[in-house]
Structure 1
Amino acid sequence: MIGFVFPGQGTVRVGMGGWLRKEAAAAPVWTQADETGDDLTRLCSRGPLARLVDTRNAQPAVTACNLAALAVLRDRGVAPDVVAGHSVGELSALCAAGVLELGETLRLVADRSELMAQLPGRGVMSSVLGLPVARVEELAGEASRPGEPLVVGLDNAEDQVVVSGAPEALERFTAAATDARSITALKVSHAFHSPLMAGAVDAWAETVRAAPLRPPRIPVVPNATGEPTTDLRVITDALIDQLVARVQWTRTMTAFSAMSTVDRCVEVGDSKALTGMFRTVGVRCVSMSDPGALRRLIPGGAR
């Protein structure tokens, strides 16, 4: 059995999706992405980086690459048995599971990115290496104040955590976290997956509940739970909660590794970030950022 995992916004870069733009099977994805977004094909190819990393463009750009890679895999007859997506990548996973169609996925991502971008951009995020999540939670709680929250936004791996929240709280956290191996500020416009995104939740919930979601054909592992499910109600609620909830990626990877029938994973998009994370839990994963991944998946897969 095979699992598909889809990367999120933090993987954007100029030139992303290069070989995927040459694949005939992916052409409808790029066409619809350009119709939904702001000339995303050109933006992914040439930048400028300042526009590409803007939330309004970054989330649709990553999704376009994810769905282009998915289209190539489908064209080669490679189908998943379970799916998950990191942050905005969860919507790509829902497309792979049949919950959303291509056009609906692109429109929902565009709506999501716009709602998030409209919020006041005073939040910050930093990657913390070398500390267990329990220690990061403790320090983040001590650094928080009323109106100045700081939380674990992304639990990526055993000692790879991202904190998200108010800049004042992050300063206090950084001063206290002397036992961390490193603390690195991320170039983001908002404190994603934190209470500072609460202002977008009501509108996002309305958007999600109005979308034509279908029961999944295969299990989905939502970020907010880290547990496989085929329950559409659970998937819908988790997709809404995801704006302010922690990305439970360590738990997601554990769920994949616990499925004895899942013997390999594919990172479906132009990124190797999730591939590296899965190595930390001993799950074999290949990335579609490399065209050679197709040859490793199926004989004669690249053409």
Structure 2
Amino acid sequence: MIGFVFPGQGTVRVGMGGWLRREGAAAPVWECAEELFGESVARLCARGPLARLVDTEHAQPAVTVCNLAGLAVLRARGYEPDIVAGHSVGELSALCAAGVLDEAETLRLVATRSALMAELPGHGVMSSVLGLPVERVEELAAESSRPGQPLVVGLDNAREQVVVSGHPEALERFAASADGARSIVALKVGHAFHSPLMAGAVDAWAEAVRAAPLKPPRLPVVPNVTGEPTTDLGTITDALIEQLVARVQWTRTMNELSTVEGCVEVGDSKSLTGMFRTVGVRCVSMSTPAVLRSLPAGGVR
């Protein structure tokens, strides 16, 4: 068994997707993105500017195009997964890999998601917290919250690797009380993703998701909000909607994938590969074409 995992928005950088832009199998993905977005996503990935690339409205489509380009390359070589998962916006790429969405609809939904999130008032913040168990971070976040100033665990990425998300004043109180943390590092984002501060986008996002032509998956998907494999389309749909304000259960997801022979981080990132290393799961990154030599010959499935 092999798992495909797809990175999210935090992995964007100028130059991303370099070798994938030169692969003929991925060309239709880049062309589809340019038609949908009305600009060259390939040029933005290659040259930036960084300030534009990391902006939510551009970052989410950019990472998704790289993810889908990587998926197209793997499929052209005969590789298909047995189970899939995606980190945050990467979950939409995972749904494409599972046959729930086609490439064009995946990109349309990502464009909608990123636009809705970007339109919200930009007063939310996120910080990475290292060195504390998630239970302790939960306690400190709850103690730091006030009415109208929430702070929650937005992403449970790995053991003692957590991201808190919410109001800036709540984060200040959190930082002052988190004495045992090894580090607290602010993330370069304009919004508090996976927190109650995203609630203003949920209704429109739910409408977009329920209007999309979703199909039952061909293989198990591990949604972020449950961290449990499922092939039930209703569960997948509800989880995709809830994900906007709910925690990314990535530690639980990695544990569910611990029974596979290995995982491929599809796209142009090494972030998930490093996280899987913390739970002893072999994961290889598509950040260089050399990964194709490390996969089983002749494809899988």
- Pairwise mapping of residues 114-193 of structure 1 onto structure 2 (< 5 A)? 114-193=115-194
Aligned-partner Cα distance in 2 for 1:298–1:16: 26
Residues 211-238 of structure 1: per-residue CA shift (max 9 Å, x gap):
0000000000000000000000000000
Q: Structure 2 unaligned runs (5+)?
A: none
TM-score normalised according to structure 2 size:
0.98
Structure 1 residue 299, shift from structure 2 partner: 3.8
- Contact 2:91/2:224 (<8 A) preserved: yes
1:197 aligns with 2:195: no
Structure 1: which amino acid aligns with 2:43? R
Structure 2: which amino acid aligns with 1:13? R
TM-score normalised according to structure 1 size:
0.97
The match for 1:50 is: 51
The match for 1:8 is: 8
- Contact 2:70/2:267 (<8 A) preserved: yes
Structure 2: which amino acid aligns with 1:112? R
Aligned partner of residue 275 in structure 1, secondary structure: helix
The match for 1:265 is: 263
1:76 aligns with 2:77: yes
Q: After the TM superposition, which parts of structure 1 deviate over 6 Å for at least 4 consecutive aligned residues?
A: none
Structure 2: which amino acid aligns with 1:248? Q
1:90 aligns with 2:88: no
Q: Structure 1 unaligned runs (5+)?
A: none
Structure 1 residue 36, shift from structure 2 partner: 1.7
- Contact 2:78/2:298 (<8 A) preserved: no
The match for 1:229 is: 230
- Pairwise mapping of residues 219-298 of structure 1 onto structure 2 (< 5 A)? 219-257=220-258, 259=259, 262-298=260-296
Aligned-partner Cα distance in 2 for 1:189–1:67: 25
1:67 aligns with 2:71: no
Aligned-partner Cα distance in 2 for 1:244–1:13: 25
Residues 237-288 of structure 1: per-residue CA shift (max 9 Å, x gap):
000000000000000001111x3xx110000010000000001111000000
Structure 1 residue 300, shift from structure 2 partner: 8.4
Aligned-partner Cα distance in 2 for 1:198–1:280: 32
Aligned-partner Cα distance in 2 for 1:299–1:214: 30
